Amino acid sequence: MRIAVLGAGAWGSALAINLSKKHQINLWTKDPEHAQEMNEGRINRSFLPGHALPTSLKITAALPEAIENADLALLVVPIAGLRETVRAIALRKCRVPIIWGCKGFESGSSKLPHQIVAEEFPDMLPNCGVLSGPSFAEEVAQGLPTALTLASKTSDFSRQIAAELHSPRLRIYTSHDVVGVETGGAVKNVITIAAGISDGIGFGHNARAALITRGLMEITRLGLGLGGSMNTFMGLAGVGDLILTSTGDLSRNRKVGLMLAEGKSLQDILNELGHVAEGVHTAQSVLQLGNQLNIEMPITQAVCSILHEGVAARSAVEVLLNREQKTEIY
């Protein structure tokens, strides 16, 4: 299969490396200098150092060249760049099926990726889907065992693409719940920041487990409110992704939480990371949607107060701990 991987960050590069073992891959970056650097050194020093880019992998900064004759476009740009990328594909009247791997809600509109695709490229709606689940780019690039969920409203499409992408070390499970898979991937980044803050303060493993569990409730309540399925939140794209990013030190969102607990400013943290931490940009959209649907989101509220209102991390956590007692399920 000829696959255009659009987005040469850590996740896009990792998928390109992994999938190049059995597919012809074109890796696209919008930055010509970045493309030249990767072509010359056969490595993505900016986002995935230490992992060679296979010689069979074609690198380009020209979108038409990347998607020409492609059987599938895999969009792994940040959520902020999804609309622009989909629009560029649509303007070329290219009918390539698309799968997106970005996580989050669009800033301003609070729309999920499938809603953006529906607005910009409605002709391709039967042949599109989302790829998500517990996956660190470093481990995917190494070829370590990973399991992901591919969700599409068109069952034949998801089964066909999953069969093409599936391998013993990159297992692909199918789902029809696009909303649930997208919501799980988006909201878990916010909860992960909270888990990082808790660990950074030194509250211990009990508190981390409580945050993950109560955070899963927030993900589930919002996801159900948006039309997702309960089963999805108990699977790879829900609890699986949440556990990985809330406990694994490769998680950028967890690192944000750890550094917030140290008292660092958000801007200094983002400068130090040098990569996108989607939870930072997603938190306000998640809280806004929760308010619109009258869904209580206390952990998300606490994270937003730290990120955007200048509340000290320890103070925000203390507010959470002092909430009134209530039943576990409500």
270 C-beta neighbours (distance < 10 Å), count: 16
Catalytic residue (one of 188, 255, 264, 326): 188
Look at residue 195 in the predicted model and tell me its pLDDT: 96
Give me the CATH topology for the region 2-176. Rossmann fold (3.40.50)
Kindly report, residue by residue over 131-165, the tens digit of the pLDDT: 999 999 999 999 999 999 999 999 999 999 999 99
pLDDT at 125: 83
In the predicted model, is pLDDT for residue 193 greater than 90? yes
CA distance 125 to 119: 10
Q: What is the pLDDT of residues 251-275, one digit of tens each?
A: 999 999 999 999 999 999 999 998 7
pLDDT at position 330 over 80: no
- Quick: pLDDT tens for 207-222: 999 999 999 999 999 9
Locate tokens 């937003």: which residue?
Answer: 304
pLDDT at 56: 97
pLDDT tens-digit series, residues 7-65: 999 999 999 999 999 999 999 999 999 999 999 999 999 999 999 999 999 999 999 99
Q: Answer whether residue 166 shows pLDDT above 80.
A: yes
Question: Cα-flanking dihedrals φ and ψ of residue 149, to 5°?
Answer: -110, 130
Q: What is the pLDDT of residue 93?
A: 87
CATH number of 180-321: 1.10.150.120, 1.10.1040.10, 1.10.490.130, 1.10.1380.10? 1.10.1040.10
pLDDT of residue 311: 95
Q: If DSSP states are collapsed to H, E and C, what string results for the chain?
A: CEEEEECCCHHHHHHHHHHCCCCEEEEECCCHHHHHHHHHHCEECCCEEEEECCCCCEEECCHHHHHCCCCEEEECCCHHHHHHHHHHHHHCCCCCCEEECCCCCCCCCCCCHHHHHHHHCHHHHHHEEEEECCCCHHHHHHCCCEEEEEECCCHHHHHHHHHHHCECCEEEEEECCHHHHHHHHHHHHHHHHHHHHHHHHCCHHHHHHHHHHHHHHHHHHHHHHHCCCHHHHCCHHHHHHHHHHHHCCCCHHHHHHHHHHCCCCHHHHHHHHCCCCHHHHHHHHHHHHHHHCCCCCHHHHHHHHHHHCCCCHHHHHHHHHCCCCCCCCC
pTM of the predicted model as reported, rounded to 2 decimal places = 0.96
pLDDT at 306 over 90: yes
The domain ranges of the chain are 2-176, 180-321
pLDDT of residue 329: 81
Percent of the chain with pLDDT over 70: 100
pLDDT at 70 over 90: yes
How confident is the model over 76-108, as pLDDT tens digits? 999 999 999 999 999 998 889 999 999 999 999
Whether 58 is catalytic is: no
